[in-house]
Amino acid sequence: MDIDDAINFEDLRLLAKRRLPKICYDFIEGGADDEIGLDRNQQAFRDLPLIPRYLVNVDKRDLTKELFGRKYDLPYGISPTGLAGMFRVGGDMMLAQAARDANIPFVMSGSSTASIEDLGKLAPEHGWYQLYAARDKSVSEDMIRRADAAGLGALVLTVDVPVHSNRERNVRNRFGRPVRLSLATKLDALSYPGWLYEYLKGGLPMFPNWLPYAGEGADADEVADFMASMTTPPLTWDDVARFREIWPRKFILKGIMHPDDAIKAAELGCDGIVVSNHGARQLDRAPASIEVLPAIAAAVGNRMTIMLDSGIRRGSDIATALCLGADFVFVGRATLYGVTAGGTAGATKAIEILRRELDLVMGQIGVADLASLNESFIFKG
Ligand code: FNR
For 51-89, what is each residue's pLDDT tens digit?
Answer: 999 999 999 999 999 999 999 999 999 999 999 999 999
Q: Which of 126, 164, 258, 278 is catalytic?
A: 278
Measured in Å, residue 106 CA sits from the centre of ligand 1 at: 12
Quote the pLDDT of residue 86: 95
The question of whether 126 is a catalytic residue gets the answer no
Q: Specify the pLDDT at position 199.
A: 87
Between the alpha carbon of residue 351 and those of residues 12, 22, 102, the distances in Å are 11, 25, 8
H-type alpha helices, 247-332: 259-267, 289-300, 315-323
- Whether the upstream peptide bond of residue 178 has omega within 30° of 0, thus cis, is yes
Distance CA 20, CA 30 (A): 14
Sign (positive or negative) of CA dihedral 211, 215, 221, 224: negative
Under 8 Å between Cβ of 20 and 337: no
Percentage of residues in the chain with pLDDT exceeding 70?
Answer: 100
What is the rounded distance in angstroms from the CA atom of residue 111 to the CA atom of residue 80? 9
Q: Which atom of ligand 1 is nearest to the CA of 107?
A: 21
Ligand 1 centroid, distance to 331 Cα (angstroms): 8
Average pLDDT, the chain: 97
**Low pLDDT (below 70) residues in the chain:** none
Cβ neighbours around 155 below 10 Å, total: 25
Q: 90 by DSSP, 3-state: which?
A: coil
User: 278 CA distance to ligand 1 centroid (A)?
Assistant: 5
> What is the structure's pLDDT at 361?
98
Amino acid 200: pLDDT:
87
Q: Provide, rounded to the nearest whole percent, the portion of the chain with pLDDT above 90.
A: 96
Q: Atom 24, ligand 1: which residue's CA is nearest?
A: 279
What is the number of the ligand 1 atom nearest to the C-alpha of 334?
A: 29
List the residue whose alpha carbon is closest to atom 16 of ligand 1: 81
Alpha-carbon gap, residue 228 to 220, rounded angstroms: 12
Instruction: Tell which one of 25, 28, 39, 81 to mutate to probe ligand 1, the residue whose CB is within 8 A of the most ligand atoms.
Output: 81
> How high is the pLDDT of residue 245?
98
- Strand pairing category for 70-72 and 65-67: antiparallel
Ligand 1 atom closest to 38 (CA): 31
Ligand 1 atom at minimal distance to the Cα of residue 309: 26
Q: Which residues line ligand 1 (CB under 6 A)?
A: 27-28, 41, 79-82, 109-111, 130, 158, 254, 276, 278-279, 281, 309-312, 331-333, 336
Closest ligand 1 atom to Cα of 27: 15
Considering the entire predicted model, what is its pTM?
0.98
Task: Give the Å distance between the CA of 368 and the centre of ligand 1.
Answer: 31
Cα 54 to ligand 1 centre (Å):
37
Residue nearest to atom 3 of ligand 1 (CA): 81
Ligand 1, atom 2: nearest CA belongs to which residue?
81
Calculate ∠ Cα 299-303-309, nearest 5°.
70
Closest-CA residue, ligand 1 atom 5, reads 80
Cα of 92 to ligand 1 centre, how many Å? 13
